[in-house]
Structure 1
């Protein structure tokens, strides 16, 4: 009796997205009123970017905000330029020409208002290009008590958030070319249990023509469709997928699941030299369910480049 091996195939697409900056600074948690600082050091940013481009990110965990794993925001006050007058705008100007800022809770930005929003994920402070010329300067506010945000919670915490550090504009950014990675057609029988992998295909993320002058350049792998909880390196199924129970896992050159959603330093970049760099990766099929059907398996990954 003859048996026919069922086949699966895949296209893995890694398009370039916009250039952004990620930046974090660890601060000590506090359950009560606290004054904290976002950024706080020299920040090199691209000089010419489109209005709305995210230039830097800073995160505060719920523990840092209210001393617990889950908080409920009750009020946010925003102060343009770290001054004395609040604003209802969700995006406010900083003390540096060309740079604005906003605070996000569960991914949504708010201006001055009363709230009732629970969150268990970190709140995020962003620096954005606002279309004006980026002249660089200190982010420190203009008030004697120069907080840009005052954030209150039901648990009784008040977080006064100041911005610090000096913006240094740099001419030029790296480029990351789009690419399509095609995994080999693979027999479904090779994926005989949940978590098993097959069909590994090597590829490289190219980070090209990086100018000199940045303190650090990093990259972040961001799956289209979001990170899947408790599934390291695994991409959600993208449009055109016909298989079920099978996904694509992105891995480092050694075959370990890739880190998703976190900035990773581009090894080899030197502030005084710049240059182009290749990051070795691979991708493979991974079985994710007890029930599977053959077909095509597609996934997509955005590559963010960040600068300091």
Structure 2
């Protein structure tokens, strides 16, 4: 069975002489809170998933955490099953069979312990399949200590509660692989940092989604990580011989694609299910003062999450 959560999309870009040929396969400010409730009233989760599969994501912005654009975390406490016992494990069980959770700060998972880290990007709380049978039920912790995580920061402390009743659903969506060829482009068209050329449209296909989910989301994850201050740009991967040129993934309007954050699959209806096409495009982008022709490789992964 195909996993719900990932399909890898590779990109191969060939730059002969003074032109670039590319091939790509693409498998507000609220006050700081004393606590955060992750997820919601009702969550529909795939019933049979491989252990470690990400099932749902919830984000907590720095403004929500500390009321500023940058927060400093000093200590994290993790409570398996939302109970009173703590754990240093980076993945802890919930009180719903088959479902575990983890807390990520700057993309790194933390259990109980000293942290001492700054963050400007949202904290992420994930629900994961853990190999146990998903029997459904309420995520609410114990009456004595219902929070799953406590985050102690330089200026305040807040608690993360998990909320919602999980309903197991049979089946998941699938994301087929594809290859998109960008047209040949003269290197002199990429004449300055930030200039783009060779735009090619494509679609991310999300197929055969079953009925019953309240929401389906997708997350684009560049292989090699998100490049700071370069929205939508894929890092170069193995085999690249060009320099100063990358690929930027964009939405249909040409704006940089959102990376690392779950985006709702528009059009999904829990009563109907179905297949969906997300219009995207890719372009070459100049990323350095010096650029040389050659081969440019990039890749991204598409993760699906369900509620």
Shift of 1:56: 1.7
Helix, strand or coil for the counterpart of 1:148? strand
Helix, strand or coil for the counterpart of 1:68? coil
Helix, strand or coil for the counterpart of 2:243? coil
Shift of 1:254: 3.3
2:18 pairs, out of 6, 30, 33, with 6
Query: What is the count of residue pairs matched by the alignment?
Result: 292
2:29 and 2:67 in contact (8 A); partners too: no
**Counterparts of 1:218 and 1:42 in 2: how far apart (Å)?**
15
Q: Which residue in 1 is equivalent to 2:213?
A: 214
Written as runs of structure 1 = structure 2, the 5 A alignment for 1:102-251 is: 102-155=102-155, 157-251=156-250
Closer/same/farther in 2, CA of residues 188 and 270 from structure 1, 3 Å limit: same
Tell me whether 1:30 sits opposite 2:36 in the alignment. no
Helix, strand or coil for the counterpart of 2:68? coil
**Counterparts of 1:278 and 1:302 in 2: how far apart (Å)?**
16
1:11 and 1:299 in contact (8 A); partners too: no
Shift of 1:87: 2.6
1:218 and 1:263 in contact (8 A); partners too: yes
Helix, strand or coil for the counterpart of 2:133? coil
Helix, strand or coil for the counterpart of 2:22? strand
**Counterparts of 1:168 and 1:27 in 2: how far apart (Å)?**
33
TM-score, length-scaled by structure 1: 0.86
TM-score, length-scaled by structure 2: 0.86
**Counterparts of 1:76 and 1:254 in 2: how far apart (Å)?**
41
Q: Which residue in 1 is equivalent to 2:7?
A: none
**Counterparts of 2:90 and 2:232 in 1: how far apart (Å)?**
33
1:90 and 1:102 in contact (8 A); partners too: yes
| Rg (Cα) greater in structure | 1
Shift of 1:5: 7.0
Q: Which residue in 1 is equivalent to 2:3?
A: none
Structure 2 unpaired stretches of 5+: 1-15
Q: Which residue in 2 is equivalent to 1:39?
A: 39
Written as runs of structure 1 = structure 2, the 5 A alignment for 1:267-286 is: 267-286=266-285
Q: Which residue in 1 is equivalent to 2:85?
A: 85
Closer/same/farther in 2, CA of residues 272 and 128 from structure 1, 3 Å limit: same
**Counterparts of 1:113 and 1:251 in 2: how far apart (Å)?**
39
Deviation track 1:217-250 (CA, whole Å, cap 9, x = no partner) reads 2222222122223323221222222212211122
Helix, strand or coil for the counterpart of 1:280? strand
Structure 1 unpaired stretches of 5+: 16-25
**Counterparts of 2:247 and 2:88 in 1: how far apart (Å)?**
43
